[in-house]
Amino acid sequence: MSKKRKSYQERSRRYGLYFSMPFIIGFIFLYTVPFVTSIVYAFSDVGITNLGIDLTFVGLDNFIFATTVEPRFLRYLLESLWALAYQLPIILMFSLFIAMILKQKFIGRTVFRSIFFLPVIVATGVIINIMTGDIYAGLSQGTQPDAGAGFLQNIMILEVLRMYGFSDDIIIGFIGILNSIFEMIWRSGVQILLFLAGLQSISPSLYEASTVEGSTKWEDFWFITFPLITPVLLVNSVYTIVDAFTDYSNSYMRMVFGYANRLQYGTSMAMAWMYFVIILAVIAVLYRVLSRREIY
């Protein structure tokens, strides 16, 4: 019996490796050279001459400049971490809620599934930036018909929350969350799809047995549904973290691209690598916490 199980596990690993080969081959041939080059640039003073790129090794100077001289480094980094702190649970809860609705049988289910996944197909990073950019440009120029209404709504929320004794920092953070709701919903398509696949993989016999035992839908969720989708929850969490940290609307990413556009590649790569290490640390902590609660 153990040999059969071992053989099945070995076959599963091989199949997983086969399906991963296109990515592995693409990464080796397309990303290895830029990956190594970015490390070299991070420790170098990069100059552009008529003969090409001139590299001068400067050690940790680029990292020191980013952390001690660039005033936006720490502020933008903390903004990114704060945005992740509230966006991650909201996106995951919303995605799971919509996936559970889309799992039910009702008229037009396929259409609604397509609607929620449509942003993934249509709204690439460029398109969503154009959309939000047009909105912000219109607001700054006062050409949007509802710009004043949105401003007045924020003022009303501000005054109401002040009446209940909330500090200005909490109020501003709350308004920031409200203003980013559209973007978070827009970026939930992949998570909804993965949660839906996880929900459909749960055997209906488990729910039938719980119904016979007299359990409620609430108990079914916490004792059957939620434990069995914890692997999908981990995958969605990692995906959401990477997507949030690397989104171009992220202030830190815009700062990194700004240095690159000014041909300051050394500083840009140093900031990017520090950001990359922080992302890995956040993912490692999350994986450590959630992997202990996974149920297969």
Kindly give the interhelix angle for 189-200 and 230-246, rounded to the nearest 10 degrees: 170
| pLDDT value, residue 274 | 92
Q: Give the dihedral of Cα atoms 104, 107, 110, 116; nearest 10 deg.
A: -70
State the pTM of this model: 0.72
SS3 label, residue 112: helix
DSSP 8-state symbol, 216:
-
Is residue 16's pLDDT more than 70? yes
Summarize pLDDT for 41-77 with one digit per residue, the tens. 889 888 877 777 778 888 888 899 888 888 888 888 8
Altogether, the residues listed in the chain come to a count of 296
- Greater confidence (9 vs 71) lies with 71
| pLDDT value, residue 152 | 45
**Structural domains in the chain?**
70-249 (1.10.3720.10)
- Greater confidence (129 vs 269) lies with 269
Q: From CA 115, how far away is CA 96, in angstroms rounded?
A: 16
CB 27 within 8 A of CB 248: no
Summarize pLDDT for 126-176 with one digit per residue, the tens. 555 555 554 444 434 444 444 444 444 555 555 555 655 666 566 565 556
- If you average pLDDT over residues 223-241, what whole number do you get? 89
Is residue 125's pLDDT more than 70? no
SS3 label, residue 180: coil
| pLDDT value, residue 151 | 45
- If you average pLDDT over residues 187-192, what whole number do you get? 82
Average pLDDT, the chain: 78
| pLDDT value, residue 172 | 60
- Greater confidence (6 vs 205) lies with 205
pLDDT band at 273 (very low <50, low <70, confident <90, very high): very high
- 142-156, 208-222, 265-279: least confident range: 142-156
| pLDDT value, residue 119 | 67
| pLDDT value, residue 214 | 85
Q: Angle at CA 80, nearest 5°, toward 77 and 83? A: 150
| pLDDT value, residue 147 | 41
Residues 6 or more apart whose CB falls under 8 angstroms from that of 198 comprise 99, 228, 229, 231, 232
| pLDDT value, residue 159 | 59
